[in-house]
A and B are shown apart, each in its own frame.
Chain A
């Protein structure tokens, strides 16, 4: 495996797996019995992996959420169904490729699916702007949500962005307004909405697709008000403190569930989403389907009311008794 395709802490596992592959290859060529050894090494790799993954630091969660092999929105869309029809453009300025959206069947449910899209290599990343949308991306997303609402189709959003793009054009065209409007409009949608953080949940740029009835996170994804790097630069005035910042920001799924922000964690395959796309996609599809199934029985008014209630409850403070 190429060096830039695994993280430092994954290295011992990768080495063991390479050894197993090598053994199997040798066995095939020379017809030597290696089954016992392979079995032993496989077990060893599994143990090592579960040991490493059970003790991940917050920063390692960040690294996994940004893993170069981590599946992106389009990867999941392809696995979930082959009937996806992409719809493009905000009807006002441009089509923003850092957000993709369109019609899809999830099991027997016809849905609108919308997600941030990162690039796999430099060329793709330039096209996708590293998954950092401009206002037109959020306006496209809103257009598609309104379209789904009109035809009473549920909406699924996949969140994976470092954040909304901070640039001159973005400000000129109202990045803040585009995000703010999405928050307000999503809060009032008359159809079931399910959001899943599949990688990086980067601040307002993530939230602009994430005001939903149900908020899910993949096991090794993150969600935060600011990137650890940004936080370290501002509060510690030292970008090298990103590990401390990651810890302090409580950005892992477990933390977010305990804070009452996230409703459900979707388990990743033992090897992580980045090393078993089809297993991950199947699990994701199952989780989304369950949520849609449940929300499908809730009437329109209750959908809006319970969604608003959910957000009204978020936050911690003390209050003097009057």
Chain B
């Protein structure tokens, strides 16, 4: 009987324990490889062994996407007022204060003007470390204003999303930010302003179910968790294990929900190429396009 013949694999620790001096080495959360932080930084926090994309900060995305020194933050000084005086085991106002002091930000998104591969753009980058990147009144308002800027100045919009979804502590007001941002996108769409949605790990709930999924082109980072419902909720609802790779970027690509998967180091060039394609078409009516033909400075 094969039962008895099956050789027993000896138990072993998933990764050998190594003593790591603080701040020099980082273990890959996916493959367990020990990586030298200086090298990891150079590789934009992508594991050299397995390609795992570490979660990175908002400032790092600015560096990765924007031409050096071109980012100018907009719509600062907007903060939540805890409109429902929400309190669970902790007060929302305390959670906000904590997140502000931890991240040094006012809420879970920053917006700004920048250049990307030489082109003027409007960019919004969500911050997962601020209350799970959740969207309340402030995030919705700032995203909507960024969309308004893009429309007003006729610049393409790029949003880097990572979010647990709508912020429960602002209840219905958070839900309505989905409608607010989607309504602005309807206007942007009419005005033919290109919008590139970049989905990073993790993007779920109300952000995926609004502007996250409405990009003219949708790009995801490799292996990012992207979905409507969180995997835990789905597992509880259907009472079975979820298939391997479920709700990861590769799964979404296979099911037709995103256009492409792009590693971090290729993001700026890829977005630049896409904008090149869209913006030339946007900027001009056919007669203007004829006129512009041959002119070298066909930048937006």
Whole-angstrom distance between the alpha carbons of A283 and B172 in the complex? 26
Tell me the chain B residues, 164-198 only, with Cβ under 8 Å from chain A: 166-180, 182-187, 189-190
Contact with A along B201-243 (1 / 0, CB 8 A): 0000110111111100000000000011100011001100011
User: Contact: B246 with A173, CB < 8 Å?
Assistant: no
- Whether a CB of chain B sits under 8 angstroms from the CB of A249 is yes
Closest to B90 in A: A235
User: Contact: A248 with B88, CB < 8 Å?
Assistant: yes
Within the complex, the shortest CB–CB distance from A237 to chain B, in Å, comes to 8
Q: Which of B81, B87, B186, B246 contacts A187 (CB 8 A)?
A: B186
Q: Which of A181, A250, A315 contacts B214 (CB 8 A)?
A: A181
Total A-B pairs in contact (CB under 8 Å)? 202
- Which chain A residues border B179 with CB–CB below 8 Å? 183, 187, 207, 210-211, 311, 314
Closest to A185 in B: B186
- Whether a CB of chain A sits under 8 angstroms from the CB of B89 is yes
Of A33-41, A164-172, A286-294, the one with at least 4 CB within 8 A of chain B? A164-172
User: Contact: A184 with B189, CB < 8 Å?
Assistant: yes
Residue in A173, A180, A207, A311 whose Cβ sees the most chain B Cβ within 10 Å = A180
Closest to A226 in B: B168
User: Contact: A249 with B78, CB < 8 Å?
Assistant: no
Within the complex, the shortest CB–CB distance from B80 to chain A, in Å, comes to 6
- Chain B interface size, under 10 / 10 to 19 / 20 to 34 / 35 or more: 35 or more
User: Contact: B137 with A317, CB < 8 Å?
Assistant: yes
Closest to A307 in B: B183
User: Contact: B227 with A176, CB < 8 Å?
Assistant: yes
- Whether a CB of chain B sits under 8 angstroms from the CB of A175 is yes
Whole-angstrom distance between the alpha carbons of A25 and B19 in the complex? 86
- Whether a CB of chain B sits under 8 angstroms from the CB of A48 is no
- Whether a CB of chain A sits under 8 angstroms from the CB of B257 is yes
- Which chain A residues border B137 with CB–CB below 8 Å? 314-317
- Whether a CB of chain A sits under 8 angstroms from the CB of B49 is no
Knowing A207-B175, A251-B171 touch, does A312 contact B144 (C-beta < 8 A)? yes
Q: Can you show 30 pairs from A to B with CB atoms below 8 A apart? A: A164-B209, A167-B234, A171-B247, A173-B255, A174-B256, A175-B229, A180-B214, A184-B186, A185-B186, A187-B179, A188-B189, A203-B206, A204-B166, A204-B205, A207-B175, A224-B175, A225-B172, A226-B171, A231-B88, A235-B89, A248-B87, A249-B84, A249-B172, A250-B171, A261-B173, A261-B176, A315-B138, A315-B180, A316-B137, A317-B141
Give 5 closest A-B pairs by Cβ, nearest first. Answer: A320-B77, A166-B229, A315-B137, A183-B182, A187-B183
Question: Which B residues contact A (CB, under 8 angstroms)?
Answer: 76-81, 83-84, 86-89, 136-138, 140-141, 144, 166-180, 182-187, 189-190, 205-206, 208-214, 227-229, 233-234, 237-238, 242-243, 246-247, 255-257
Sample of 11 further A-B pairs with CB below 8 A, known A225-B175, A226-B168, A315-B176: A171-B246, A173-B255, A176-B209, A177-B213, A203-B206, A210-B179, A235-B168, A236-B88, A236-B89, A320-B78, A322-B77
Question: Which A residues contact B (CB, under 8 angstroms)?
Answer: 164-168, 170-177, 179-181, 183-185, 187-188, 203-204, 207-208, 210-211, 223-226, 230-231, 234-237, 241, 244-245, 248-251, 256, 259, 261, 307-308, 311-312, 314-320, 322
